[in-house]
C-alpha cells in the first residue's frame, strides 16, 4: 500500500495491469519463439531456472533484457521497461550470456576506469590469481573468463541481474565464491534470475526453482541438494 493514498479510494481490485510491486514483474512476455511467461521475483529474491538445453531458458532471459523482439510487460521495482530506452533498461537488468563475448584484447579495458578497483577486488574474491585482471583475454581459461564476465555485470551495481549459467565452468570452490557474492547482492535487495543445472545452487541461494520445458515455465517445489 502506497503512503498518502486517500482512504476514500476504494481498495484496488486485484489489478493485473498496475500492481507496481517491488522486484521483477513479468506479464504476457512472449515472442514468436517462446512464452507466454508470467513470472514474479520479489526484491531480494532469486529465481533459478533449469531445463533441457534448447528449452528456452536463454531466450527467456534475453526477452526480459529486451535483446530479442518480444512483447509483454516487464517492470523492475515498479518501473516499466517501455518508459525508457533499451540500453537504460539493460543497465538496470544486465544480462550475462553463458559464453559472454569480449570486445577488446585486454581484460581491464572491458571495465570502465572508475570501476576497475571494484572489479579487481571482486576478481580476488572470486579466486582469480593476481595479474589475470591485466592479462590478455586470450590467455584466460574458460572458468576465468566466466567469472570476469559476471564481474562485468556486478560492477554496474544494478538492481537486477540475469545470469545464464554463471558457474557452469567453475569447480565447486570457485562456484561457492561466486554464490557468496550473489548472496550479498540479494541481501541488498537485488533481484537475480539465473539459469543453472546445479540443483544444489537453488537451495544454497534460497531461490525459487523453475523448470523450463518446451518453452514454458513451470514452478517446481524446492528440490533438495543432490547428495
Rg of the chain in Å (alpha carbons): 18
Q: Which residues of 11-48 are buried (b: 16+ CB within 10 A; e: fewer)?
A: eeeeeeeeeeebbbbbbebebeebbbbebbbebebbbb
Q: Are 166 and 150 in contact (CB under 8 A)?
A: yes
- Return the range that interacts with another protein (CB under 8 A); candidates 34-42, 99-107, 200-208, 211-219: 99-107
23 near another protein, judged by CB under 8 A: no
Preceding amide of 36 cis, omega within 30? yes
153 near another protein, judged by CB under 8 A: yes
Instruction: Tell which one of 22, 40, 73, 102 touches another protein (CB under 8 A).
Output: 102
Instruction: Tell which one of 22, 79, 100, 135 touches another protein (CB under 8 A).
Output: 100
165 near another protein, judged by CB under 8 A: no
- Return the range that interacts with another protein (CB under 8 A); candidates 6-14, 63-71, 128-136, 180-188: 63-71
156 near another protein, judged by CB under 8 A: yes
Q: Are 210 and 220 in contact (CB under 8 A)?
A: yes
Rounded CA separation 49/32 (Å): 21
Instruction: Tell which one of 75, 152, 185, 209 touches another protein (CB under 8 A).
Output: 152
73 near another protein, judged by CB under 8 A: no
- The least CB distance from residue 215 to another protein, in Å, is 17
86 near another protein, judged by CB under 8 A: yes
169 near another protein, judged by CB under 8 A: no
Q: Which residues contact 196 (CB under 8 A, 6 or more apart)?
A: 48, 49, 50, 165, 166, 167, 168, 202
- The least CB distance from residue 105 to another protein, in Å, is 12
47 near another protein, judged by CB under 8 A: no
- The least CB distance from residue 61 to another protein, in Å, is 9
Measured in whole angstroms, how far is the alpha carbon of residue 165 from the centre of its chain?
A: 10
Instruction: Tell which one of 4, 6, 87, 131 touches another protein (CB under 8 A).
Output: 87
Rounded CA separation 149/13 (Å): 43
Strand boundaries in the chain, DSSP class E: 23-30, 37-42, 46-50, 71-76, 79-80, 95-96, 160-164, 191-195, 208-213, 216-220
- Return the range that interacts with another protein (CB under 8 A); candidates 2-10, 22-30, 96-104, 127-135: 96-104
- The least CB distance from residue 11 to another protein, in Å, is 36
- Residues in contact with another protein by the rule CB under 8 A: 65-69, 85-92, 94-97, 99-103, 149, 152-153, 156, 162
Amino acid at each position: 500500500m502506497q503512503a498518502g493514498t486517500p482512504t476514500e479510494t476504494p481498495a484496488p481490485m486485484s489489478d493485473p495491469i498496475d500492481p507496481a510491486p517491488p522486484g521483477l514483474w513479468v506479464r504476457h512476455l512472449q515472442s514468436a519463439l517462446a512464452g507466454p511467461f508470467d513470472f514474479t521475483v520479489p526484491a531480494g529474491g532469486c529465481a533459478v531456472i533449469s531445463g533441457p538445453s534448447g528449452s528456452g531458458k536463454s531466450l527467456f532471459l534475453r526477452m526480459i533484457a529486451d535483446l530479442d523482439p518480444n512483447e509483454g510487460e516487464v517492470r523492475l521495482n515498479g518501473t516499466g521497461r517501455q518508459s525508457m530506452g533499451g540500453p537504460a533498461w539493460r543497465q538496470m537488468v544486465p544480462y550475462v550470456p553463458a559464453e559472454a563475448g569480449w570486445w577488446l584484447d585486454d581484460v581491464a579495458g572491458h571495465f570502465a576506469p572508475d570501476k576497475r578497483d571494484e572489479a579487481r577486488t571482486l576478481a580476488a574474491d572470486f579466486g582469480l590469481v593476481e595479474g589475470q585482471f591485466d592479462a590478455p583475454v586470450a590467455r584466460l581459461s574458460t572458468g576465468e573468463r566466466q567469472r570476469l564476465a559476471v564481474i562485468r555485470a556486478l560492477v554496474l551495481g544494478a538492481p537486477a541481474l540475469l545470469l545464464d549459467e554463471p558457474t557452469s565452468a567453475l569447480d565447486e570452490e570457485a562456484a561457492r565464491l561466486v554464490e557468496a557474492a550473489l548472496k550479498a547482492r540479494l541481501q541488498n535487495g537485488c533481484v537475480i534470475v539465473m539459469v543453472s543445472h546445479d540443483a544444489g545452487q537453488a537451495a544454497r541461494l534460497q531461490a525459487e526453482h523453475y523448470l523450463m520445458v518446451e518453452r514454458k515455465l513451470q514452478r517446481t517445489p524446492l528440490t533438495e541438494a543432490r547428495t
